[in-house]
Each structure stands twice: as C-alpha cells, then as structure tokens.
Amino acid sequence: MTTSLPDGEVLTSLLSLLLPAVVVTLLVLTLRKPLGLNGKDFPSFLMGAIRFNSYAGLAAAYALYGDDGLALFALLLAAYIPTVNVISTAALARYASPTGTSIPSVLRAIATNPVVLACIIGLSMNLLEIRLPLVLDRTLAILGAAALGFGLISVGAALHLQSMRSDKRTLALASLLKLFVLPFVAWVFCSMLGVDGYAKSIVVLFAALPCSPAAYVLARQMGGNAELMAGIISTGTAGAILSIPIMLALFG
C-alpha cells in the first residue's frame, strides 16, 4: 500500500500516539527501582509496556475503518516503529549488561538497528520522491500482501503459555500499562490536540495493541530477559481480546 505524506490532522494524530509512548517510558523508568526491575528484566518490561503488534493492528484497522483507517494506521506505523525501536534498543544496550554501557555504545546500537535503518531509508525515499523500479515495486507489493496473513499466523504461533506462569506481578503490570494506561493516555492527548472521529479511534486502537512477538527476538539478541518477554507477549495478547473492545468502546 502506498500513501501520501501526512497533513496537519495526521501530524496531531502522530503526536497523540508518540507523546503517550514517551510518558509511559518515563513512568516505567520511575518504577524501575521500586519494582526491583534491574539488569535484563527492565528492558523486557519496558518493551512490553510500549511495543505493539502491527499485524493485528493492520488487520483490525482495515476491518473496522476500511481503507482510510488502514492508510492512517500505516502512516502512524512509519513514525512509531522507529521511535519504539530507538527506545527499546537504548534500554537493552544500557540495562541488559550488569555493568551498563557507555553512551557511545548505546548510540551505536541504535544507529545499527536494522528496523531503525529501514524506516530512515523508507522515509528518506518518500521525502525525496525516489521510486523503486517497477519490477521490484510489484514484487514487494505481492510479498507485502502476503505478509499480513503470515504475520497473523505468527501471532498465535508465538504464544508461549508456559512463560505466563513466571513473575505474575510483572506480567500483570506490563499488561496493565500496555493495554489500559497507554491507550488512556493516548485518548487524553487526542482530546487535548483535537483529534476526533475515526482518527481518534485509530490512535486508541494503535495504543491498545498488545506487545509484538518481534520484541522476543530483540530481547534474545541483545541480552534481555527473553523468557519474561515471552510471558509479557503471551499475557498481553490473551488480555487484548477483551481489553481492545473495552478501550475502543470507552475512548474510541
């Protein structure tokens, strides 16, 4: 799917989504010591509170709000994906090591994150109006059409029910922050910035999505608590079946 660059209304929608992510990140940072989330546990907890399952969101946005909702969701993705990946990578690089890492090492980890690089390249090509060769563009479009279906299959395949038995307090709090606190804060910012109609519903839906299976891969590759991450993903995905309709009914 292709779409144009955002106008004023979409920019306010972006702010209504990105600012709550920053607020929740700061909140989690203040909770780190009181909850005893040291070392590799903290980045996994943080990712569980702010990351999202884009495949489920794309499917829900199209089913509920049609092409317009899907286009807006895709634009929000373009900004939110690099934002949460910068935060996640920085947290893993800083806290996953028992002794911590230097600022240059953290910045290097962010700069070499393939997801961040892909988003920068894609947005740069859009701004510079660079178009892919027709054959490559059509090939990627076909692969992209199949990606949503396979992504939804991976959501169920990634559930790890055994991991839901570990540290129930941490799992519950991470799910509470992601499924209820983040969408509520997003609704507050929508109200403050005048985002209304289906745009507000898309922002709330986006914020209410559970953590993505990709967070498990990132935690495992960069030294986070992968087992805790799997538990947060599974708990959040199961809880989202009930929480998303509730949040959309209240704030969408």
Mean pLDDT calculated for residue range 135-157: 61
Residue 166 has pLDDT above 80, yes or no: no
Give phi and psi for 70, each to the nearest 5: -65, -40
Instruction: Tell me if 185 sits within 8 A of 52, measured CB to CB.
Output: no
Handedness of CA 240, 245, 249, 252 (dihedral sign): positive
Q: Is the model's pTM score more than 0.75?
A: yes
4 pLDDT band, cuts 50/70/90, is very low
Mean pLDDT calculated for residue range 163-167: 58
Mean pLDDT calculated for residue range 224-245: 87
Residue 113 has pLDDT above 90, yes or no: no
Residue 198 has pLDDT above 70, yes or no: yes
Residue 28 has pLDDT above 80, yes or no: yes
The per-residue pLDDT for 2 is 47
List of residues 6+ apart from 236 with CB closer than 8 A = 48, 174, 175, 178, 179, 210, 211
Dump pLDDT digits (tens) for 59-112. Answer: 888 888 888 888 889 888 888 888 888 888 888 888 876 555 666 766 776 677
Mean pLDDT calculated for residue range 223-242: 85
Calculate ∠ Cα 23-198-142, nearest 5°: 95
Q: d(Cα 136, Cα 146) in Å, to the nearest integer?
A: 16
One DSSP character per residue, 101-123 reads --HHHHHHHHHT-HHHHHHHHHH
The per-residue pLDDT for 70 is 86
Q: d(Cα 247, Cα 142) in Å, to the nearest integer?
A: 34
The mean pLDDT of the chain is: 80
Structural domains in the chain, sorted by start: 8-251 (1.20.1530.20)
20 pLDDT band, cuts 50/70/90, is very high
